[in-house]
A and B are shown apart, each in its own frame.
Chain A
Amino acid sequence: MSAESIVASPKRRRRDEVRHIAWLWLGLTILLVLFSIWVPARLMGPPASPTMRAVESTMTVFSIAASPVAALVWAIAIYSLFRWKSRGEPTEDGPPFRGNGPVTASWAIVSSVLCVFLLIWGLAEMTSTTSPAEASNPLVVNVTGQQWVWTFSYPDQGDVESDQLYLPLNRPVVFHVSSRDVIHSFWVVQMGIKVDANPGVTTKTSVTPDKLGVFDIRCAELCGLRHADMETSAHVVNPADFAAWITQNGGHT
């Protein structure tokens, strides 16, 4: 117990330590929240679908929710490195307390609450990002992966085939994804959707593109020699332009 004897007023000193850590915690939390608001979603680029918008807000919200947790751990760690550091080998022991029931319990409860929040948020997000496209009159696109190209065909438009994806603006799309050889993964980057292309079965994913432009399609599952080159483009165009493109390629709308 020699650790206590050298301190004039241990109680006050302990209060000061907690206060300093609280300030450090607050400061780090503010920095991390600012980081969460500005950085992760921005790195993901402008969203091209409600799905991607939902994913980006998830990234921001989860980052904000995690900020006080990370800030607390780092605040205590950083503080201990400066305030409680011993010069060389310590000549005395620290206080011998072996735990603190209320602290442990609240730590577990708070992390459980955060965990429940993550789950509810995730389930709500899953519902909102999958249901709309299945609702009404979706455009069906068959996506076929093979080493190392993507092929898109439009079964309801006279089986028009293309190696570039054309989609009309604001119409829900359902992709029926399959593969001719190994596993590929169909990923429309700016729309935030991805599903594996498996040989022998058809998997589905859906999205409603809501931004005009050209977006990236990449293969996200290592599929052999030219995996890195298995890229193509998704063109989101006005419905009239889409109809024109279909007709031009021998299909009907």
Chain B
Amino acid sequence: MTTTAEVPVPGQHHDDVDAVGRRQLTGVCLLILADVAFVGALIFSYFYLRGLNTSNAWLSDGAATAPIWVGWAIAAALVVSAGFFRWALAGLRKGNLDRLVSGIGVAVVIVLLDAAAQVVQIMSFSFKPDANAYASSVYTLAGANLFHLVLTGLVGLGVWNRARIGKYTAADPWQVHIIAIWWVWIAVAGIGGALTTSFIASPNIGS
């Protein structure tokens, strides 16, 4: 390989913030891709079992189901929190650091409350995961959403703390930007889960 050398710049040891930021954005997008595959696999499992309806036991007659609105409410709260986070990011871009801290703070509080709501929903299902394939699938999707909420809450606490002590500036909003993308993705995943569990009865009855 034919090469030539660059002149070293003494003391300068880091790439500029935009290069580092874009790099981190690429990495996080790839990790989100992995999570998309994981969530997609759970949703696929739900619809596959519902479609097959093996032994007519996807949801046997009279078996308890989860009210649809709870899942949608949890997803809606997630969407609202993502909105607050993006509002905070827009504030940072304008140099409004107070809006950054308060926006992230609200987003984190909503997510943590949402996580608590998700726990309450899981505890109060009127069926156990061993009831039927529907029950197993609903528990698993709810569990995956809870995992998302807790993880995002922890990351959110970190980014809130860093915003509070002034680590972010309008010139380098990359971390907040990247986390905002993650936040939108978990909101999308939450909607996906709520939508999935809105389809309850199997279309394939009989046989």
Contact = CB atoms under 8 A, between A and B. Distances in A.
Determine direct contact between A and B, CB below 8 Å.
Answer: yes
A124 interface: no
B33 to A, nearest CB: 31
Interface in A158-185: none
Contacts of B54: 200-201
Interface size class of B (residues with CB under 8 A): under 10
Contacts of A201: 54
A152 B55 CA distance: 22
Contacts of B55: 200
Interface string A179-222: 00000000000000000000011000000000000000000000
Interface string B35-76: 000000000000000000011000000000000000000000
A201 B54 CA distance: 7
Interface size class of A (residues with CB under 8 A): under 10
Chain B at the A interface: SS class? helix
Interface string B169-206: 00000000000000000000000000000000000000
B120 to A, nearest CB: 34
A206 B54 CA distance: 23
A197 to B, nearest CB: 14
Interface string B105-137: 000000000000000000000000000000000
Contacts of A200: 54-55
A201 B56 CA distance: 11
B60 to A, nearest CB: 14
A15 to B, nearest CB: 34
Nearest to B55: A200
A37 to B, nearest CB: 45
B48 to A, nearest CB: 13
Nearest to A198: B54
A201 B55 CA distance: 8
B55 to A, nearest CB: 5
B50 to A, nearest CB: 15
A200 B55 CA distance: 6
Nearest to B54: A200
Nearest to B52: A201
Nearest to A201: B54
B196 to A, nearest CB: 23
A144 B15 CA distance: 66
Interface in A53-106: none
A201 B204 CA distance: 14
Nearest to B207: A201
A68 to B, nearest CB: 38
A196 to B, nearest CB: 14
A235 to B, nearest CB: 33
B28 to A, nearest CB: 38
A201 B52 CA distance: 10
B2 to A, nearest CB: 14
Interface of B: 54-55
3 contacts: A200-B54, A200-B55, A201-B54
Interface of A: 200-201
3 nearest A-B pairs in the assembled complex, by CB-CB distance: A200-B54, A200-B55, A201-B54
